[in-house]
Chain A
């Protein structure tokens, strides 16, 4: 459905995306993750035809991303909700439906359905008088007025309270169940883990990992063994109830701990395994946390602009 080949985007001397290549299958929920400034938004805007690549190609449903016809079949939700606050939710959505050549009766039906599903009340209230969560719902409804096959959502739950965030993540899952192809970006990796089939992990404009979450874990992460003993071993941490926790990376190390505990007159009372999160994987690959990478990216951008 979506093909990106050797995508590169420069802003002046700053390289926002550097040689990205990936594809998204029809009906797939595809995650683009990474810290702020990793190149996620630029990648998504290129898919939406908003940003022209410096080099490389992007096609959506067989059409170039800057083809106006491609846009008819695309719903884009930017990170912010840049709405026209003088308008009501209904008039705003009707206007966009009109631009997408949606017949009035069909548009009215779709708008009602989308707003019902999003549980948005006060549809004749001026958007400027709405809460941030309500505005986000209007923005999501706008991305659906043309009933697109492809949805590109950039940080859909950014800056929202937990309740609204969960609501929007669940709504996105429902859209995925309807067969929409969704490209979804987030710097909160938990959201990505919860709904994406495949992901690419970006940092400093480059893709540093890709595949299904299992594939990435297998390739870049390792299972941790949390070993609990009733005697204190070297490097063990107190874990309460007179237990001590040691974390090791393989079964040989587990056996070594068992021997140590026995030598001290104790024993291993529990062993738990824990798969790495995307955040752990990011730390493993990039050598820094997403937050540290964001800080570094800001510095890099400022240097490029000056």
Chain B
């Protein structure tokens, strides 16, 4: 073949790429997809009798009416959490009664009760207010101080005619009772222990004057007290005898520094709850197509597999989107919240879809859906707890929701970092599941691991497809590595970093070799060393190119953490000598091609040989990671 004819052949082949892609992945037909979606709704509606529908509707209405009330009240988990020894005749008694967080114990207003652990705070008009010297006692003390301010402000707001004859300015000065005393925890001290803080310059100021501002200013006055760092407990304005110099620490959940975003977290969790129910119905409809071969006739109809899958998924996705928008509207979430929750919903559906395609019975499906529920709920919820603590929290899109609910701005980089892996993983899962949405796989009763291999093998046909599948697996790699970071984050560095090196090596070697193994198992490729080398190199190059996606971590500065550097060394090369940096960029290519080739050489022989070669590849990868880590350090 001459050079010119070769060029012509290549050009012709390249020109045919779009049409070949169209043949292989025909575009979605919106009309067919919507028709199937409508049918899915009608069909599912037919399975619910009127009584069940009525009960479900009733529950929805009751839930809908109750939710705003619950939300308005806020989470009541700390109601009556602090036990206060105070007598009914005490000026502070009404303050204690007015706050949900206190549980007044009239008969226990004694030092003995405090020392015996029966109360957390002792309030008497005979002496200083004494908290128990525990974290809870300190929290009770801080809460009491806030409650007094709130009570006083409330009393001033009771004035009906706040703009009577002339503006009135009210200044509230809180006088210390001479310092707080902490009772020893279970000790024998009489309560007159060390005095902590004697500052008495409480200076909350409430300024009336124009009537309408009175209240706000009054409240600001209260806030001013705290902002000033004044630790004195303000006196109740009903003839109280003054406050005490206060402790400076607090164990109240909202006072943890950085603060624990309790309310926002609970509200954010509301988004996840419906998903756990919807995937049960979605999983059922997927496996229903497979039981008794019911989906066979759809496969014969002139609709593509993608039309069918999209049509069957659309009602559930739209339902979740509608619920998400509704919840966001109810709890004050913005577009950022909705935008962050939708990828979570997609991942719930995509995981369930794959589970529904692999499960052999409803019993197995139940296991799958519960596993999806537990794993994904944990995955999105736990990191969000650390919203204000560490950038690792952003591995969960729920963190974006928490930030949004707290009124924090969410940067595009943070949003992308939190949501892109979920979106990409969802797409890959749907693609993987769609590979088995065909007669030969849908109705077979092979074990789950064989079906997983089936799904992978359907995507592997040529050297190019091996590289492509490796690239497609990258979102899984990314998600798994982020999860690994989150899991080892609490361990000591001496343990977490080596553990991450090993975990990362295992995850990445699986991603580079599992489809090559499937290709050999399903006779997609000739079992020869030459083929193994070619496929290994293709997989390694594919991984190298896709791995550059991990630079995404820089969007949230994750590489500044030692764990981030361990998991994503490519993202941590900044600041080194250019030659070293160049080497660090080229070395991964060498690493990935070598280790992928090692595994491929094992895969072309047998399963046992593959497992052995895989272990060698992991060892090489681990040594490389340790080496690069030392070089960067």
- Residues of A participating in the B interface, judged by any CB pair closer than 8 Å: 11, 45, 48-52, 68-69, 71-72, 74, 76, 78, 80, 82-84, 86-87, 91, 95-96, 98-101, 126, 142
Contacts and interface: CB of A to CB of B under 8 A. Distances in A.
A64 to B, nearest CB: 10
A78 B43 CA distance: 22
Given A45-B439, A68-B304, A71-B302, 9 more contacts: A11-B440, A51-B439, A51-B440, A82-B296, A84-B43, A87-B46, A98-B35, A99-B36, A126-B46
Given A51-B440, A98-B35, A71 B300 contact: yes
A4 B141 CA distance: 87
A86 B35 contact: no
Contacts of B293: 78, 80, 82
Contacts of A72: 302
Nearest to A96: B301
A86 B440 contact: no
B300 A49 contact: yes
Contacts of B44: 86
A96 B36 CA distance: 10
A82 B292 contact: yes
A126 B302 CA distance: 25
B551 interface: no
B42 interface: yes
B439 A68 contact: no
B294 A68 contact: no
A194 B44 CA distance: 42
B297 A100 contact: no
B26 A68 contact: yes
Contacts of B438: 50, 52
Contacts of A126: 46
27 contacts: A50-B300, A50-B439, A51-B439, A68-B26, A68-B303, A68-B304, A71-B300, A74-B300, A76-B300, A78-B293, A80-B292, A82-B297, A83-B294, A84-B43, A86-B43, A86-B44, A86-B47, A87-B42, A91-B42, A95-B39, A98-B35, A99-B32, A99-B36, A99-B301, A99-B303, A100-B302, A142-B297
Interface in B18-63: 26, 32, 35-36, 39, 42-44, 46-47
Nearest to B39: A95
B273 interface: no
Contacts of B440: 11, 51-52
Contacts of A86: 43-44, 46-47
B291 to A, nearest CB: 9
Interface in B293-344: 293-304
B46 A78 contact: no
A48 B47 contact: no
Contacts of B47: 86
Contacts of A51: 439-440
Given A51-B440, A126-B46, A96 B302 contact: no
A71 B301 contact: yes
Majority SS at the chain B contact face: helix
A68 B42 contact: no
Contacts of B46: 86-87, 126
B35 A96 contact: no
B587 to A, nearest CB: 41
Q: Which 4 pairs between the two chains have the least Cβ-Cβ distance?
A: A86-B46, A50-B439, A82-B294, A71-B302
Nearest to A78: B296
B31 to A, nearest CB: 9
Nearest to A11: B440
Of B42, B292, B302, B304, most buried by chain A (CB within 10 Å of CB) is: B302
Contacts of B304: 68
A69 B439 CA distance: 19
A87 B296 contact: no
A185 to B, nearest CB: 16
Interface in B473-521: none
B302 A68 contact: yes
A87 B300 contact: no
Nearest to A139: B297
A155 B292 CA distance: 16
A71 B295 CA distance: 16
Of A45, A49, A71, A86, most buried by chain B (CB within 10 Å of CB) is: A86
A96 B297 contact: yes
Contacts of B26: 68
A71 B307 CA distance: 15
Interface in B594-614: none
A101 B295 CA distance: 19
Given A45-B439, A87-B43, A98-B35, A78 B297 contact: yes
A48 to B, nearest CB: 5
A136 B573 CA distance: 68
A99 B303 CA distance: 7
A298 B297 CA distance: 26
A181 B467 CA distance: 45
Contacts of B303: 68, 99
Nearest to A79: B293
Contacts of B43: 84, 86-87
A1 B302 CA distance: 19
Contacts of A99: 32, 35-36, 298, 301-303
Contacts of B439: 45, 50-51
A49 B302 CA distance: 11
Of B35, B293, B300, most buried by chain A (CB within 10 Å of CB) is: B300
A108 to B, nearest CB: 16
Contacts of A100: 301-302
Contacts of B301: 71, 96, 99-100
Nearest to B458: A52
Interface string B409-452: 00000000000000000000000000000111000000000000
Contacts of A87: 42-43, 46
A100 B35 CA distance: 11
B26 to A, nearest CB: 7
Nearest to A74: B300
A50 B437 CA distance: 11
A98 B47 CA distance: 22
Contacts of A95: 35, 39
A76 B293 CA distance: 14
A200 to B, nearest CB: 22
Of B39, B295, B303, B438, most buried by chain A (CB within 10 Å of CB) is: B39
A152 to B, nearest CB: 9
B309 to A, nearest CB: 15
A76 B297 contact: yes
A69 B303 CA distance: 9
B30 to A, nearest CB: 14
Contacts of B32: 99
A126 B49 CA distance: 13
Contacts of A101: 302
A82 B303 CA distance: 18
B243 to A, nearest CB: 70
Contacts of B298: 99
Nearest to B48: A86
A11 B444 CA distance: 11
Nearest to B444: A11
Contact of A48 (B35, B36, B300): B300
A98 B292 CA distance: 23
Contacts of B296: 50, 78, 82
